[in-house]
A and B are shown apart, each in its own frame.
Chain A
């Protein structure tokens, strides 16, 4: 089909794209839909935050390899506050980075009295969009192909993270350890995924001097389960037992593959002096060690890793898992509530 004449795929977005609700979308193309043009319709969106938008972007670009092939048309929300939040989250820049890049900022014509006065902390309610201008909300892309090499990509990601996380003053969580968790996630994207990473950060001011902290990392590649399965297919007799190896390759469940991926020393890229097979454990225990609840979604399963002690046995993972019909996006979600001392005036 001539792509220039192909009709754009119509992708209607649900009213609430905050938190993990975005996972309810399914943008998987049907067999008839081959177009690389996408029309993202946000007209009905009434609520948005950095976590929901990160997941939405992950789903929009799930499995897409040559990003420069994609053309995006964007219809803005009917809610001014939602559009303002989308602008704050740099949606135009994000979409331009993730596609051939010709989206213009349709917010330019907005009347100034409809915009948020950022000098005055306040809680805004517009339609069903509610957010606080003091909240820290950001989205960071980790695109390996935009950098000269692995170290340059990781350094750039780390630098951006440090700048953003450093704005949490006085600090309400262990900044350095969470940065390490994100770096470990980005390493996995670079080394294993063929996709890119989308990190969403949301530090929300709540009542009673508490902060709700949420982080999400979405990987648009094949995911852990598919990766491990492919590796096993290419590596006969990995466990010295042909029967169990074959059985795992043919009949293995998501938990079987995730369990394998969590084993100390298991890596599909072992022996390259970069991968030592402890990445997933360091991610889960690193987040747990600084008080975060963690869940991981991959393939058709979600696992609650909160407070789970290593070693990650098959039994423990199975007991903490549930099935999901959400699309096959790899998602790590970290969450914590923090009570803090208010700054003295």
Chain B
């Protein structure tokens, strides 16, 4: 696998997997990630714009993204999520995506606790997560990003 192949780009909508609120659809995306991400994967660019993601199903595919990256032998590891979910704050956007992942304890009810858990996980595993938020008012893929949230915090 060459360097280019270590940087995965996965577009859920292009794969016909926009209905990620359906468990079987989330499971299909999970199977795809599991299949294409090797132990050499350095970055996963997960484009879930214009997909319906609900927090109770998001762990189905995000846990695999995280475990593949953490288990990778690459030096620098990144997960980039492109989303049209706009929950106004870093904490709530993070909550919506990661609340049910294995990174977060069952007792972390507060959105701040969830983002703190994600920060810790990233630091401990030398992983960088960037959540890029785009407007869902348009289906134009070239529309500019509204904001991005980085984990661990304060790392650019």
User: Residues of A at under 8 Å CB distance from B?
Assistant: 151, 154-155, 158, 162, 170-177, 179-180, 183-184, 264-265, 274, 276-278, 281-282, 285-286, 288-291, 309-310, 338
Q: Does B95 contact A (CB under 8 A)?
A: yes
C-alpha spacing A183/B21, complex, angstroms: 9
Q: Are B86 and A174 in contact (CB under 8 A)?
A: yes
Q: Return the contact of B87 from the options A175, A183, A282, A291 (Cβ within 8 A).
A: A282
Known: A171-B139, A179-B52. 18 other contacts (CB 8 A): A151-B23, A162-B52, A170-B138, A170-B139, A171-B138, A173-B137, A174-B135, A176-B50, A177-B86, A180-B54, A264-B109, A264-B110, A276-B99, A276-B109, A288-B88, A290-B86, A310-B88, A310-B111
Determine if B52 and A158 form an interchain contact, defined as CB atoms under 8 angstroms apart: yes
> Cα distance A310–B90 when bound, in Å?
12
**B51: interface (CB < 8 Å):** yes
Name B93's closest neighbour in chain A (CB-CB): A289
| B89 neighbours in A (Cβ, 8 Å) | 285, 309-310
A289 touches B54 (CB 8 A): no
Bound-state Cα–Cα, A177 to B135, Å:
10
The distance in angstroms between the C-alpha atoms of A133 and B125, with both chains bound, is 57
Question: What residues of A have a CB within 8 angstroms of the CB of B84 in the complex?
Answer: 174, 176-177
On whether the beta carbons of A285 and B54 are closer than 8 Å, the reply is no
Beta-carbon contacts of B97-120 to A below 8 Å, as 1s and 0s?
Answer: 001000000000111000000000
Question: Can you report 23 residue pairs joining A to B where beta carbons are below 8 Å apart?
Answer: A155-B21, A158-B21, A158-B22, A171-B137, A171-B139, A174-B136, A175-B136, A176-B84, A177-B84, A180-B21, A264-B110, A274-B56, A276-B109, A278-B95, A278-B99, A278-B111, A281-B92, A282-B87, A289-B86, A290-B86, A290-B136, A290-B137, A310-B88
Interface size on B, residues (CB 8 A): 29
- Indicate if B96 sits at the interface (CB-CB under 8 A): yes
Q: Is B7 an interface residue (CB 8 A)?
A: no
Q: Most chain-B CB neighbours within 10 Å: which of A172, A277, A289, A290? A: A289
CB distance from B146 to the nearest CB of A (A): 10
Query: Contacts A158-B22, A180-B52, A278-B109 known; A309 to B96 CB distance under 8 Å?
Result: no
Shortest Cβ distance from B91 into A: residue: A310
Q: Which residues of B contact A281 (CB under 8 A)?
A: 92
Q: Which residue of B lies closest to A175 (CB)?
A: B136
* Interchain nearest-CB distance for A67 vs B (Å): 27
Q: How far is the CA of A175 from the CA of B89 in the complex (A)?
A: 20
B88 contacts A309, CB within 8 Å?
Answer: yes
- Contact across chains for B137 and A172 when beta carbons are under 8 A apart: yes
* Residues of the A chain whose Cβ atoms lie less than 8 Å from the Cβ of B130: none
**How far apart are A303's CB and chain B's nearest CB, in angstroms?**
18
Against A, the Cβ 8 Å flags (1 = close, 0 = not) of B20-62 are 0111000000000000000000000000001111111000000
> Once bound together, how far apart are the Cα atoms of A155 and B23, in whole Å?
9
- Residues of the A chain whose Cβ atoms lie less than 8 Å from the Cβ of B138: 170-171
The residue of chain B having its C-beta at the shortest distance from the C-beta of A309 within the complex is B88
Interface mask (B124-143 → A, CB under 8 Å = 1, otherwise 0): 00000000000111110000
Interface pair A158/B110, CB less than 8 Å apart: no
